[in-house]
Amino acid sequence: MKYTADLLLRATKLGTSTLFEASKIANSAIDPAIRPVWSGASIAGPAYPLECSPGDNLAIHLALEKVSRGSILVVSTGGFVAGYWGEVLTVAAEAAGVVGLVIDGGVRDISAITARRFPVFTRGISMRGTIKASAPSVGKTISFTGTPVSVGDLVVADDDGVLILPAAQVPTTLDQGQLRADNEAQMMSALAEGKTTLELMQLTKWRSE
């Protein structure tokens, strides 16, 4: 699935929290233990899913020869934390046009990744390296912390977490997300004028007598 630059910018600006609420897809939010390596990282783009065997990163190397430019790698490792990714793969990914990484395993060379401002969202950090002996799945649909991910699904990630939207539901979710953002903007103005959240959310029946 191809996404326009305007659509990706719109998704990034709306952010994961707003889009999650708008999507009404319970499993679109990835395990909150997967966090950005550096604060302020924010990215949106089409997913390229792959699966690594525990402690083995061969699938990542293979993926970098197949992935479309502008994609975000979504790497399942079964939650096994090791240094599947570091500075070398970051440089290789940039050269291949990959714009970000989401991995439920681990990464290393954090200073280099941060200095390059390459968006990485990971379960952990580990100095322990990996072998290169097997590649269970490259470019095929996977289950990532309980969320199905196919090539072309939309990944949106920021300081609030990682969201994955099925490609077919992206337009509707973005439209609903914009409505939520517009409503929240109106609420912010009302709050600045002295209204309360109880009034604006119609919760006044819960006021104490």
Binding-site entries for Mg(2+): 109
**SS3 (DSSP) at 24:** coil
Beta strands in 54-192 (DSSP E): 72-76, 100-107, 120-125, 137-138, 142-144, 147-149, 154-158, 161-165
**Contacts with 118 (C-beta within 8 Å, 6 or more apart), sequence order:** 90, 93, 94, 100, 101
Write out the two tokens for 106.
Answer: 């681990």
Strand partners, 157: 43, 162
Annotated binding-site residues for substrate read 86-89, 108
